[in-house]
Structure 1
Amino acid sequence: MTQALAFPVPNALGNIDQYVQAVNRYPLLTDEQEHSLALRLKHDNDLDAARQLVLSHLRLVVSIARNYLGYGLPHADLIQEGNVGLMKAVKRFDPDRGVRLVSFAMHWIKAEIHEYIVRNWRMVKIATTKAQRKLFFNLRSMKGDVASLSPEDVEGIAAKLGVKPEEVVEMETRFAGGEVAIDRSHDDDDDRAAPIDWLADESAEPVEVLEAAETERLHDEGLRGALASLDERSRAIVQRRWLVEDNPATLHELAAEYGVSAERIRQIEVKAMQKMKLALSA
């Protein structure tokens, strides 16, 4: 049996610096310890195991939240939202997948922080689609040190992120205009531009590299194998209906292309998804 770890419940802390110092003192888990705790949570609903998993990864949330300080939102609030994502990740974590919690939790932590930022910035009112949100969170790092984007830069970024060139220009204008958070009090006379120049290049983060590697592995070994089990037409239908980020094909579009009814396309799709599910669970 894995040796129990000392994870005392933290006392009330006076400020964010004390909190950061406190969470950095929690011990990191070995692979064996993490697996044992996750199994206890999964099979026995052991809340103490869940607590240890969360506490041992609080420093990860602090590290991720620090990368979003450029939005001018309180570090403590970013951490709080990230902790919510961490708890969701712990609840959904499956130790039998062979993935460390640190890479699995990245998505959930960032998703909660992103949602918090979106809710609290007027600047992102145009970011109503997945592609536009990707533009919001990536434009500054893609722009680099360039003072203003050239028409060629705009076209390139728009093509890479799947948005219109006008949206790239509008978002850049909003960044430069310095709009403020919507939760600002009505009597606040501070007209300073909101900072956003310090967005981190997430591609260089070790945890991001781990997450990307795991995603690639799952896609290669799982999804590719499941797709390979389908016939050519079924595979094409699934790919165009579910595996494209923007503008997936409709049943009627595919029906016209294959010369069958939309209902027939739906039947092929359902059968293909069932076959893929069986392949993935094998």
Structure 2
Amino acid sequence: MAKKTTSKTTKTSVKKPVANSVAKKPVEKKASGGAVPKVKPKSVVAEIVEASHPEEINPSVEADKAYAVSSEELEIDDSPVEESKALAVSDTNKSIASTDPLAMYLNEIRRYKVLSREEEMALAKKYFESKDPHAAEALVKSNLRFVVKVAADYSKFGAKMIDLIQEGNVGLMHAVREFNPYKGARLITYAVWWIRGYIQEYLMRQYSMVRIGTTQNQRKLFYQLQKEKDALDAMGIEPNAALISSRLGIPEDEVRDMAMRMSGRDVSLDRPVDDEGTTSLGDLQKSRDDEPLDENLARLEQLEILREKIEEIRPELSERELIILDERILNDDPLTLQEIGEKHGITREAVRQMEARVLKKIKAKMDEAAD
């Protein structure tokens, strides 16, 4: 019997989890038979993230810093998790890794390399010429952070941020497939229209006031009905379905139906999209800053024509005029007249005159295209 007791005591001491007071519990006698039941030792399971691994510390906050998007905008639940007192973990140095899908996604894309302009252009040309899927993947991954920023502009419309990002990513992938790197623009300049367009289309599908926007007339009404009402109000005319129908060329019953649906909307058109309150969902109806996708794409096609015509006049330009074209007119970060003059040893006025000549040639090409 002594051997049996010694054996059990040794076995229990091997399993003691944290403190001696816990380890003594298994050797307490229970039943009258004198047998000591096997007790499974208690244990505390926790993943401690050390301060030496900054990429895993509070991913939602760190990701927000990386994209300049606040956690409030992204609606990330980053409330602290209660930790075991026995672990005595400091809130300032360690945290439990978040399992929020959005936080996990932001933490993941933060690991992707942001390409330099030269690297991006090289990959874009490679994909354009060979359709290499690896090149396309690298281009998409390097711009995923930008999609988050664009999606954040629409996050206050009530849709889930992760869904907006997903739609924006689809727009980004479409842009990568269609992008022509030889037109002179950067990928993101081209892609932003597709990213915004896909997100806007998603919002139109989500809300009851825009789910009906499936026909050409319905879409036109969604974007222009409020603008027409405002215009009539400004002229002192009472807006009515018959008048708006005449102005837009849309049947009166469709105008009335859209007006009724919008008056019973589940999301306010006045809800601000930015902290300054300068942009609202209703602004999507006004084709000034946030134009409908079709109008955005039409504008994009015009830019493509412009770039084609610019390429056509290149052989006609002098060496210095080409410098003006590339370093000032087409450059995303154009040099000033003074900077170009100092760089190439010419006066500021000479640079201005050459720029005027180049712009005049471009305009002439565009006029030919219009004819």
TM (norm. structure 1) is 0.51
Q: Is the 8 A contact 2:128 2:180 kept in 1?
A: yes
Partner of 1:194: 267
Q: Is the 8 A contact 1:103 1:211 kept in 2?
A: no
Render the CA deviation track for 1:103-160: whole Å, top value 9, x for unaligned: 322343234334433433343343232342243256567777x99x963597897678
- State which of 206, 212, 222 in structure 2 corresponds to 1:126: 212
State yes or no: 1:72 paired with 2:166: no
Partner of 2:262: 175
Partner of 1:34: 120
CA distance in 2, matches of 1:174, 1:153: 15
Distance 1:34 1:140, change over 3 A: farther
Q: CA deviation at 1:194?
A: 2.8
CA distance in 1, matches of 2:156, 2:243: 24
Question: Which aligned pairs between 1:41-60 and structure 2 lie closer than 5 A?
Answer: 41-60=127-146
Q: CA deviation at 1:216?
A: 3.4
Q: Is the 8 A contact 1:68 1:200 kept in 2?
A: no
CA distance in 1, matches of 2:246, 2:185: 33
- State which of 216, 221, 236 in structure 1 corresponds to 2:302: 216
Distance 1:72 1:150, change over 3 A: farther
Question: Which aligned pairs between 1:215-234 and structure 2 lie closer than 5 A?
Answer: 215-219=301-305
1:151 alignment partner, SS class: coil
Amino acid at match of 2:281: L
Q: Is the 8 A contact 1:131 1:163 kept in 2?
A: yes
What's the % identity of the aligned pairs?
36
More helix per residue: 1
CA distance in 1, matches of 2:245, 2:152: 28
State yes or no: 1:100 paired with 2:218: no
Q: CA deviation at 1:82?
A: 1.4
Amino acid at match of 2:180: D
2:159 alignment partner, SS class: coil
Distance 1:22 1:46, change over 3 A: same
CA distance in 2, matches of 1:17, 1:140: 37
CA distance in 2, matches of 1:84, 1:60: 13
CA distance in 1, matches of 2:103, 2:213: 33
Q: CA deviation at 1:86?
A: 0.9
Q: Is the 8 A contact 2:120 2:139 kept in 1?
A: yes
| Greater C-alpha Rg | 2
Where structure 2 has 5 or more consecutive residues not aligned to the other structure, the ranges are 1-62, 64-96, 271-279, 310-367
Where structure 1 has 5 or more consecutive residues not aligned to the other structure, the ranges are 1-9, 179-192, 224-278
Q: CA deviation at 1:19?
A: 4.3
Amino acid at match of 1:60: F
Q: CA deviation at 1:177?
A: 0.8
Distance 1:110 1:131, change over 3 A: farther
Distance 1:173 1:129, change over 3 A: same
CA distance in 2, matches of 1:94, 1:142: 38
- State which of 164, 169, 174 in structure 2 corresponds to 1:83: 169
- The RMSD of aligned alpha carbons is 4.6
Distance 1:78 1:163, change over 3 A: farther
CA distance in 2, matches of 1:155, 1:134: 16
Partner of 2:148: 62
Q: Is the 8 A contact 1:106 1:211 kept in 2?
A: no
Q: Is the 8 A contact 1:131 1:161 kept in 2?
A: no
Partner of 1:273: none
Q: Is the 8 A contact 1:70 1:199 kept in 2?
A: no
- State which of 14, 19, 39 in structure 1 corresponds to 2:100: 14
